[in-house]
Amino acid sequence: MKLFILLIVVATLTLNAGIKRLTLNSALDILERSNLEVKASKYEESMKFYDIAAVKAKNFGTLELTITGLRSNDAGNVFGFKMQSRSASFADFGFADFMGAIGQGAQASGGDFGAFSQGLATQGSSILSIQPKDLNYPSARNHFITKFSYKVPLYTGGMLSNYKKITTKLYKMSQLDTQKVLSMKRYELKKSFYDVALVNNFISNLNSIKRNIKKLKSVIKEMQKEGYAVETDYLEVDAKLAEVEAMLDEAKLNKDLALHFISFLLNREVSSIVAPKRTPKVPRVTKEIVEAKSLDVAKARLGQSITKDAIEVEKAKFKPTVGAFAEYGYADKKLIPDSISKKDFYTVGVQAKMNLFNGGADKAALEKAKTNYLKVSTQVILAKKGMWLKASKLKSQIKTLTAQVRSYQKQYKFSKRVYDTYKEKYKEGLASITDLLIKQSKEIEMLMKLLEVKNKKNAKILELQNLINE
């Protein structure tokens, strides 16, 4: 029991600790399986898939079971109940009153057929005017109908087949939407990893600067003893150290924020990552590659195909539809009759229907579908041109930022050398502590600008990768 509790505690601590030293490739694998937005999009895919099944099902028709329970003393209903349940008798037609009148006539004729015939001729109208009580005032009756109905389309003018094509393509569209969501999340994840790499670089350089400032403090302390430095020099350097430490704290908070965002994207706790050592690779991009790999272009093409199928759906309204139906059931005063075979019935039939005129509404709908197809076809061309324009712009921006990175690298290297020079000048009394700290501020400024440009360059490269779904 103690061992079991110990295992539970260890497992809990492990889960709370989060993933450590997570690589980008491993994170991308986890992202596809665990990201909540990707999961939601996949559920949307499933819903679209069931739409295909719903359209397919219409080809097989519908089978329905209907059970109806009735009770009535309405003469027409009761007579109809008995007819439907095949239990009607002559008595239900009022023959009891009719036979009573005939009997009275026969008794009055004394057995004389001639007299009986003459009596019928003279009294026939009065006999026919008798209102039979059994027919007009029947007792209330229960009636139960159990019915199976089957309807199936035989020909729909191509409407069902084209609806199936449309729902299948809408399912593919939802898959593209999922890929687009995944592609965006991959971009955000990679961006976060490269951000952490730059923050790590910034922290490393700040720590180096911090060490230099601490050494400078020690130097100033020694120079104070010799009378070559004053207290204000020491205070200025101490203030600069506090400024660098504040920048370090901010950088560490930014790193923690990036880790929290990575944890959010992966839907699990991440304690630390292995930041990429190299900048992201600039992908090879041509017009052909953009048209083949861009998800926006793929969606536009699929939308064009769907609108083409929609034209065929509208054309189907001008064609006849043919359907068949069959019905089987039984009826009785009890829910389950003693003998179903004596109470059952069936009906089969075929129906053909065609719309001949509806004021031109179908014609208008067809022309609208054709116009929509032309619109979407134009959007496909626009998507291709737009994606290539965006790719060209990103390629141009990457080249510009690459040149800026080289420039700031040189400026940063120069600012460090200038700082080192002024540090020696300060020791020799040829420069003030203010001049020295200004040069150090310039070094930090160049470092921040360099990392900012690197961050922009990384973002543009990752955008280009995202554009062609890499």
Annotated domain spans of the chain: 14-58+156-319+354-467, 63-141
Q: What is the DSSP letter of 139?
A: P
DSSP per-residue string spanning 375-427: HHHHHHHHHHHHHHHHHHHHHHHHHHHHHHHHHHHHHHHHHHHHHHHHHHHHH
Q: What is the pLDDT of residues 314-362, one digit of tens each?
A: 999 999 999 999 999 999 988 988 888 888 999 999 999 998 888 899 9
Residue 274 · residue 21 · CB < 8 Å: yes
* 152 closest CA partner among 351, 355, 353: 351
d(CA 418, CA 439): 7
Amino acid at 84: Q
pLDDT at 105 over 50: yes
User: Would the pTM of this model clear 0.85, i.e. be above it?
Assistant: no
Tracing tokens 């953009």 back to the chain, one arrives at 290
Q: Secondary structure of 11-63 in the HEC alphabet?
A: HHHHHHHCECCECHHHHHHHHHHHCHHHHHHHHHHHHHHHHHHHHHHHCCCEE
* 296 closest CA partner among 51, 460, 41, 469: 469
Domain spanning 14-58+156-319+354-467: CATH superfamily = Outer membrane efflux proteins (OEP) (1.20.1600.10)
Taking the CA atoms of residue 233, residue 236, residue 238 and residue 241 in that order, the dihedral angle to the nearest 10 degrees is: -130
Per-residue confidence at 115, pLDDT binned at 50, 70, 90? low
DSSP per-residue string spanning 95-127: HHHHHHHHHHHHHHTTT-HHHHHHHHHHHHHHH
Token output for 103: 């009997």
Tell whether the torsion through CA atoms of 359, 360, 364 and 370 is positive or negative.
positive
Q: What is the pLDDT of residues 256-309, one digit of tens each?
A: 999 999 999 999 999 999 999 999 999 999 999 999 999 999 999 999 999 999
